[in-house]
Amino acid sequence: MDMSQYLDLFIDESKEHLQAINERLLELEKTPEDMSVVNDIFRSAHTLKGMSATMGVEDLANLTHQMENVLDGIRNRRLSVTPELLDVIFEAVDHLEAMISSIAAGGDGTRDVRRTVEQLKRIEQGEMPNKQAAREEPPLEHAYGEFEYYVLEQAKEQGFSVYEIRVRLRDDCLLKAARVYMVFEQLNEVGEIVKAMPPVEMLEEEQFDREFLVTVVSKAPADELQKRLMGISEIDDVKVSMLSSNEPSAESEKASAPQQPAAMEQAEAVQAEAEAPEKQTAKQATKTIRVNIERLDMLMNLFEELVVDRGRLEQISRELNHAELTETVERMSRISSDLQTIILNMRMVPVETVFNRFPRMVRQLARELGKKVRLDVIGAETELDRTVIDEIGDPLVHLLRNALDHGIEAPDVRAARGKPEEGTIQLRAYHSGNHVFIEIEDDGAGISREKVLKKAISRGIVSPEEAEHLTDEQVYELIFAPGFSTADHISDISGRGVGLDVVKSTIESLGGTVAVDSRPGQGSLFSIQLPLTLSIISVLLVQIAAETYAIPLSSIMETALIRKEDVFYVHNQPVIDFRGKVVPLVRLKDVFAVPGASDDSETVPAVIVRKGEKLAALAVDSFIGQQEVVLKSLGNYLSSVFAISGATILGDGRVALIIDCNALVK
C-alpha cells in the first residue's frame, strides 16, 4: 500500500500529539498524582506509536513503545514521577520531534535512540535515574538547540563560515583551563564562539579529559584557525571541520494540511478506543476544514489585485460624477471591505502556536541554571497574521533566555533579597487598535544602569560625556546595540553578545517596535508592538513635485505646517522645535533626489514620524489624503533601495513608492 499520500497528514497529526504530550508532561510535573494526566499522555503516545508503525518509521515506533511502557508503569503506580524520570521522557520526546522534523524535510526519520531506549528500559525495570544519569551526555557529541541553530543560520546569511573545532591537549598538560582560555582568546580575535562541549563552566573547572569541542562562526579560512591554535603550547592536535546546520526549526516549517482520509481517521479512532478503556470526555464536533496555506496566499494575492482595481474604479466614478456609477462603486467598496476583513481573519493564527513551545524550554533552562522559575502565559488566543507568526518565534526565544539568565536570580540570592525563591516570568499578548502587543515581564534583578553604561563606554557606543546626560530609557535602549552583552562570563545560554540586536532588527523588519522598561531589584519589561497584517496597509499619500509617495499611518504621529523661520540649523542639519523636543527635519526631495521640486513657499508641510522614542519630521510639498493600499515588494533587484519598503499601484494606474520611516529616523 502506498503510504506517501498520507505523509502530510501523518506529520501534522504527529506534531499535534507531541505538542499535547509536552503540555501534559509539564502538568504532570506539577501534579504527579493526577492519573488522568498520565492517561492523556499514554493515549497520545499510543496513537503516535500506531501511526508511526503504519507509516513504517520503526525508530519512532520503538521509542514510543518504550515510552508507553514507562507511562503504563506510572499509571499502574509501579513507578513514581520524579523530575529525573521526566527528564528522560522529555529527552525521548526531543528525539521524536527531531524524527518528525527529519521526515518533514524529506528524510527517512532514522535516529540513534539506543541510549534513551536503554534508559527507559532501566526505568521500566524499577531502576530510577539519579540527577547525573538523567543529564548524562555522550562524550563530546554536539547537540544544538533552536537558539544555536538560529545563530548559525543568521551567521551563514551574513557570509560567515561555521566551524566545529576539536582540540586535544597533550598528556602532560598541567594547566588545562589556561590552555582553554588561550584557545578561546585566539578564536575570539577572528570570530565568535557559539557553543562549547563540555560547557564553558566545566572547561574552566578542568572537568574534562584531554579533548573538547568548540563551534565558531568566522570569516577566516579553516587553515588559519588551525595554525593559530597549533601555535599554543601543550596542544597536541587540532581538527577543524566545516559545519552545515540544515535542521529545520519549528518556525521555518510551513505546515501543509490536506483533508484527512476518512478510513485512516476511523481506523485510528477504533484502535485508540480498543486500547484505552478509560472513559474519554466527549469532544464537541467542530465545523472546520483544513486548507493548505498556499491556497490562502493565492486568495490574498487575487484580492490584492481587486483592491488596486477598486481604487481605480473609485477615481473614475469621481471624475465622471455619474450618480448610479458612484452608488454602485460605493456598494462594491463596502462589500470588498467586508471581504477583505474575512480574508485577513482567515489568515490569522493564535500566538498560542508560538507560545506552546516555551513552557518546556523554560523548564529545561531553569533546571540547567539551577533556578526556580514559573512561566505564566496570558492571552495565547490573541491572533496575528501568519506571516508575522512565522518570524516572531526566534525573537521571543532570545528574550525569554535573556530573562532566565540575566533577569531571574538564583534561589539563594532571591531569598536573601526577601523575594520568593521561585521567580516568575509573564508572557502576555493582547490587541490594541491595529496592533498586537507581546510583553515579557520578569520579577528578577532588573537592568543595572551603571553596568550598561560602563559596557557601552568600553565598547565605544557612547562617550563618557554623552553617558552623563542619558535618561534611564535611553540607557536601556543601549542593550539593543550589536554585540552588546553585560554577562560576566560566557555561557551556553547567553553572554556572547548575540541576541538583542537580532531581536530589534527582526521586529523592525516586520514593521514593529520593541521597548524596554526596568526597575533595579524588581524586574524588567520588554514590550513588542506588531502590526496585525503586513500586506494591506493604511497610508498617507503625499506629493513631492510630480511624484506621489505613501507613508504608513502606523509610523505617523501627526502632520504639521512649519514656517520657514521656525527651521533652525544644528551642525548644518535642519531641525524644528516640536512640543519642546528638537526634531530633525528630513527633506524628502533631497533624500530621493526628486527632479523639479521647488522651495518657494513660506510654509513647509511636514509629517512627524516616530521609531521607538526617536522622532523625525519629513518635509513634503503637499498632503493628498489617506488610503488603503496593497504593499508590493520591489523584487530582488531593488531589495537594497534606501528608505523604500515597497510600492503600490494607485487608482489612476501610477506607481507610488512606500517610505520606510524606520530607515529615515535611523
Taking the CB of residue 602, how many other CB atoms lie within 10 A of it? 8
* Residue 630: strand, helix, or coil: strand
Q: Are 218 and 163 in contact (CB under 8 A)?
A: yes
Give the burial class of 548: count Cβ atoms within 10 A of its Cβ; 0-12 exposed, 13-18 middle, 19 or more buried. Answer: middle
Q: For the chain, what is the radius of gyration of the CA atoms?
A: 29
Q: Which residue has the cell 515579557?
A: 440
Q: Residue 465 and residue 487: Cα distance in Å, rounded?
A: 24
Of the candidates 13, 17, 22, 46, the residue annotated as catalytic is: 46
Q: Which residue has the cell 493582547?
A: 430
Taking the CB of residue 513, how many other CB atoms lie within 10 A of it? 20
Q: Are 536 and 344 in contact (CB under 8 A)?
A: yes
Q: Residue 449 and residue 471: Cα distance in Å, rounded?
A: 10
Catalytic annotation on 469? no
Catalytic annotation on 435? no
Q: Residue 595 and residue 545: Cα distance in Å, rounded?
A: 7
CA-wise closest residue to 626 among 551, 555, 557, 558: 551
Residue 277 Cα to chain centre, angstroms = 41
Helix (H) or strand (E) holding 645: strand 644-649
CA-wise closest residue to 358 among 309, 291, 426: 426
Q: How is residue 230 written as a grid cell?
A: 597549533
Q: Residue 641 and residue 274: Cα distance in Å, rounded?
A: 63
Q: Residue 230 and residue 76: Cα distance in Å, rounded?
A: 58
Q: Residue 391 and residue 502: Cα distance in Å, rounded?
A: 12
Residue partners of 317: CB distance under 8 A and separation at least 6 = 325, 326, 329
Taking the CB of residue 485, how many other CB atoms lie within 10 A of it? 19
Q: Residue 530 and residue 527: Cα distance in Å, rounded?
A: 10
CA-wise closest residue to 656 among 554, 551, 508: 551
CA-wise closest residue to 393 among 427, 346, 353: 353
Q: Residue 576 and residue 105: Cα distance in Å, rounded?
A: 55
Q: Residue 196 and residue 47: Cα distance in Å, rounded?
A: 38
Of the candidates 23, 68, 251, 441, the residue annotated as catalytic is: 68
8-state DSSP, 442: E
Find the angle CA(13)-CA(16)-CA(19) to the nearest 5 degrees: 150
Residues written for the chain: 666
Interaxial angle between packed helices 7-30 and 358-369, expressed in degrees from 0 to 180 and rounded to the nearest 10:
50
Catalytic annotation on 68? yes
Of the candidates 402, 406, 547, 662, the residue annotated as catalytic is: 402
Q: Residue 372 and residue 362: Cα distance in Å, rounded?
A: 10
* Residue 255: strand, helix, or coil: coil
**Phi and psi torsions of 176, nearest 5°:** -65, -40
Q: What are the residue numbers of the active site? A: 46, 68, 402
